[in-house]
């Protein structure tokens, strides 16, 4: 990935780039695992000018992993404005093809504090430390990053562990130690460093921060006897970003009593186990091994990558955001629906195999109704029941009662029709012929309706209960049937008739017709009316 001058960054896979890199055979590392593997890296854009180019490298591993790896040593050489050579050397059984080298290169920045320290002379097994005094200092403790460099061709024994000690606003110490004990003599190691405070946004870094490792207790075997922590980016990247880390230790013999290892007798190292889109796992180790005496460590990190262009994008109509590149995203319909059957019903009565299929239809504009309930839709929604109306003392008054439907029985975008019939079944009187009662409905909707009744006859007998009403409610019509409603505009005394015509060729013989009055003007006790049908034929009725 190129950030443009003065910063450029990228990564490369160790096993694919460094030929014959495999350390997993046998019980101990094979001989070539002790040798460095080097490869050339060409900058996407050559740096201009004569300023010195600095390159920083960190080892990570593939996003998916099954174990915590062993530490590695990486360094650079032959750094020019066009590219550099990077070398890696692994410990333990190696990365087995998961090793990734992350790199960052820059030529200078007016706000960046940077420099180099050269470890000259010859040394062998001991730790070498050099103190760097910051001429201007920082407000607060800075993030400091270091990386080894050589100005000559390197040998296997040039591999070094590098860490920091006693980082403060005014100074820090750079420490190095040979990668393998008694590995030979060492000389001419150059350590480049840069330091800054804040979140790194002024340098085009996507994220910068610090992870603190208290290192309390005994390191676990599942962490390869190191300490590991997950660090969250608090954002989502388009692809796994590039990460640089640097570990530092604060040693104070009067305060730091847990560890018996001073810097000159210690090794501190850190690496990144996995880098995902939202987080990474960082691991650390020191020379205290499996014991319980480990000093706290801090790991500074820099994250460089493209933020997911779909982040924060809202797609209407059940659309999903799809990325086409690091800087291009569009809302599309998700057509990758599963094949399993988990039916849902939309508000217009359409059944879909599963919720994803419904959302796909809605997204494509084929259905603009909401999802109504889980399960299949009913082809002919239908309910029936019986309701008792209370005693009405005066002949001129009506009795009403509200009937509530069970939930999800009728579709919200369709009319509900109700048919009523008086049934004197509960009066236990098989001799008396009862007075006529007229029925009607009010406030019919998908949740409930109100049934009303009035007894005919000025001197009729009163009954208790006043009336039992059988009802059925439905939407649409069953097969080979038709339903609907007409509006009678004006009527009072006398008879008012309206013609209703059936669809052409709907019936082969005279049908049975059921009618019930629904009052639009509700709560009016004098609106009771008798309703009946006449002249029913195959094509119409009154």
DSSP secondary structure of 261-294? --GGG--EEEEEEEE-SSEEEEEEEETTTTSS--
Please provide the average confidence, as pLDDT, over all residues in the chain: 82
What percent of the chain shows pLDDT beyond 70?
A: 83
Q: Are residues 362 and 483 in the same domain?
A: no
Write down the pTM of the prediction.
0.67
Q: Are residues 63 and 193 in the same domain?
A: yes
**Residue 455 pLDDT greater than 80, yes or no:** no
Per-residue burial over 184-211, b if 16 or more Cβ lie within 10 Å, else e, is eebeebbbbbbbbeeebeebebbbbbeb
Check which CATH number belongs to the domain holding 402 and give it: 2.60.40.2080
| Residue 258, C-beta contacts closer than 8 angstroms, at least 6 positions apart | 293, 294, 295
**Residue 222 pLDDT greater than 70, yes or no:** yes
Last residue in a domain, options 148, 183, 201:
201
Worst-scoring range by mean pLDDT, 34-43, 171-180, 363-372? 34-43
Q: What confidence category does residue 148 fall into, taking pLDDT thresholds of 50, 70 and 90?
A: very high
In angstroms, the CA 478 to CA 506 distance is 13
Q: Are residues 56 and 153 in the same domain?
A: yes
**DSSP strand pairing (517-519 vs 437-442):** parallel
> Within a domain: residue 500?
yes
> Within a domain: residue 472?
yes
In angstroms, the CA 37 to CA 174 distance is 25
Q: Are residues 106 and 187 in the same domain?
A: yes
Token duo for residue 137: 């200092």
Q: Are residues 23 and 160 in the same domain?
A: yes
Q: Are residues 103 and 177 in the same domain?
A: yes
Worst-scoring range by mean pLDDT, 75-79, 194-198, 404-408, 477-481? 477-481
| 91 backbone φψ class: left, alpha, beta (φ>0; ψ -120 to 50) | beta
> Within a domain: residue 310?
no
| Residue 27, C-beta contacts closer than 8 angstroms, at least 6 positions apart | none
Q: What confidence category does residue 216 fall into, taking pLDDT thresholds of 50, 70 and 90?
A: confident
Strand ranges (DSSP E) for 375-456? 382-389, 399-404, 417-422, 437-442, 448-455
Q: Are residues 148 and 30 in the same domain?
A: yes
Q: Are residues 167 and 300 in the same domain?
A: no
In angstroms, the CA 193 to CA 77 distance is 15
* Residue predicted with more confidence, 167 or 28: 167
Q: What dihedral do alpha carbons 28, 58, 146, 211 form, nearest 10°?
A: -100
> Within a domain: residue 243?
yes
pLDDT of 21 reads 41
Is the sign of the CA dihedral 254, 257, 263, 269 positive or negative? negative
pLDDT of 507 reads 85
Last residue in a domain, options 184, 201, 218:
201
Q: List alpha helices for 378-421, DSSP H.
A: none
Residue 484's CB is within 10 A of a number of other CB atoms, namely 10
Over range 190-217, report the average pLDDT. 90
Is the sign of the CA dihedral 65, 273, 104, 2 positive or negative? positive
Quick check: 442 and 448 in contact, CB under 8 A?
no
> Within a domain: residue 465?
yes
> Within a domain: residue 312?
no
Q: What confidence category does residue 425 fall into, taking pLDDT thresholds of 50, 70 and 90?
A: confident
Check which CATH number belongs to the domain holding 333 and give it: 3.30.60.30
Check which CATH number belongs to the domain holding 246 and give it: 2.60.40
Over range 110-124, report the average pLDDT. 88
Q: Are residues 391 and 525 in the same domain?
A: yes
Half-sphere exposure of 353 (CA within 13 A, CB side): 9
Half-sphere exposure of 51 (CA within 13 A, CB side): 17
Q: Are residues 395 and 493 in the same domain?
A: yes
How many domains are there within the chain?
A: 4
| 258 backbone φψ class: left, alpha, beta (φ>0; ψ -120 to 50) | alpha
> Within a domain: residue 131?
yes
Q: What confidence category does residue 345 fall into, taking pLDDT thresholds of 50, 70 and 90?
A: confident
DSSP code at position 458? T
**Residue 272 pLDDT greater than 50, yes or no:** yes
Over range 207-217, report the average pLDDT. 89
Q: Are residues 240 and 333 in the same domain?
A: no
* Residue predicted with more confidence, 430 or 266: 266
> Within a domain: residue 405?
yes
Q: What confidence category does residue 105 fall into, taking pLDDT thresholds of 50, 70 and 90?
A: very high
**Residue 402 pLDDT greater than 80, yes or no:** yes
Q: Which domain holds residue 336?
A: 319-374
Last residue in a domain, options 201, 228, 249:
201
Q: Are residues 197 and 227 in the same domain?
A: no
What percent of the chain shows pLDDT beyond 90?
A: 36
Quick check: 174 and 193 in contact, CB under 8 A?
yes
Over range 282-308, report the average pLDDT. 87
Token duo for residue 348: 């217009």
């Amino acid at each position: 990935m190129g950030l443009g001058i003065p910063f450029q960054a990228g990564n490369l896979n160790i096993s694919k780039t460094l030929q014959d890199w495999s350390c997993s055979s046998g019980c101990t590392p094979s001989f070539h695992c002790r040798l460095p593997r080097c490869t050339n890296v060409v900058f996407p854009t050559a740096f201009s000018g004569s300023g010195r180019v600095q390159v920083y490298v960190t080892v990570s591993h593939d996003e998916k992993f099954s174990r915590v790896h062993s530490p590695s040593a990486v360094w650079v050489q032959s750094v020019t404005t066009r590219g550099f050579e990077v070398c890696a050397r692994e410990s333990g059984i190696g990365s087995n093809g998961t090793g990734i080298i992350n790199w960052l290169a820059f030529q200078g920045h007016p706000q960046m504090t940077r420099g180099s320290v050269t470890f000259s002379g010859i040394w062998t097994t001991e730790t070498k430390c050099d103190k760097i005094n910051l001429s201007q200092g920082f407000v607060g403790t800075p993030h400091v990053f270091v990386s080894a460099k050589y100005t000559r061709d390197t040998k296997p024994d040039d591999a070094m562990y590098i860490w920091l000690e006693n980082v403060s606003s005014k100074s820090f110490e750079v420490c190095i130690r040979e990668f393998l004990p008694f590995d030979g003599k060492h000389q001419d190691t150059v350590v480049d460093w840069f330091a800054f405070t804040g979140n790194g946004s002024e340098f085009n870094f996507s994220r910068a921060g610090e992870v603190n490792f208290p290192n309390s207790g005994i390191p676990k075997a599942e962490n390869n006897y190191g300490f590991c922590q997950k660090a969250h980016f608090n954002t989502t990247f388009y692809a796994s970003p590039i990460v640089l880390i640097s570990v530092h230790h604060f040693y104070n013999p009067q305060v730091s009593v847990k560890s018996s290892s001073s810097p000159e007798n210690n090794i501190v190292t850190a690496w990144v186990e996995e880098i995902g889109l939202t987080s990474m796992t960082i691991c650390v180790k020191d020379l205290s091994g499996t014991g319980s005496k480990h000093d706290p460590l801090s790991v500074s990190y820099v994250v460089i990558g493209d933020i997911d262009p779909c982040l924060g994008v809202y797609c209407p109509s059940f659309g999903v955001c799809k990325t086409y590149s690091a800087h291009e995203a569009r809302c599309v319909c998700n057509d990758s629906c599963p094949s399993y059957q988990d039916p849902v019903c939309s508000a217009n009565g359409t059944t879909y195999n599963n919720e994803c299929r419904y959302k796909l239809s809605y997204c494509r504009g084929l259905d603009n109704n909401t999802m109504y309930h889980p399960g299949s839709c009913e082809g002919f929604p239908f309910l029936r029941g019986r309701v008792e109306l209370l005693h009405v003392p005066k002949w001129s008054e009506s009795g009403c009662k509200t009937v509530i439907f069970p939930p999800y029985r009728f579709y919200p975008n369709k009319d509900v029709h109700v048919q009523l019939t008086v049934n004197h079944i509960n009066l236990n009187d098989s001799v008396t012929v009862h007075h006529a009662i007229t029925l009607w409905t009010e406030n019919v909707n998908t949740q409930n309706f109100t049934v009303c009744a009035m007894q005919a006859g000025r001197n009729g007998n009163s009954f208790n209960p006043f009336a039992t009403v059988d009802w059925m409610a439905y939407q649409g019509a069953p097969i080979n049937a038709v339903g609907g409603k007409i509006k009678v505009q004006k009527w009072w005394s006398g008879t008012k008739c309206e013609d209703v015509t059936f669809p052409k060729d709907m019936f082969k013989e005279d049908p049975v017709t059921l009618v019930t009055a629904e009052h639009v003007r509700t709560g009016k006790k004098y609106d009771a009316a008798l309703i009946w049908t006449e002249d029913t034929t195959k094509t119409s009725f009154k």
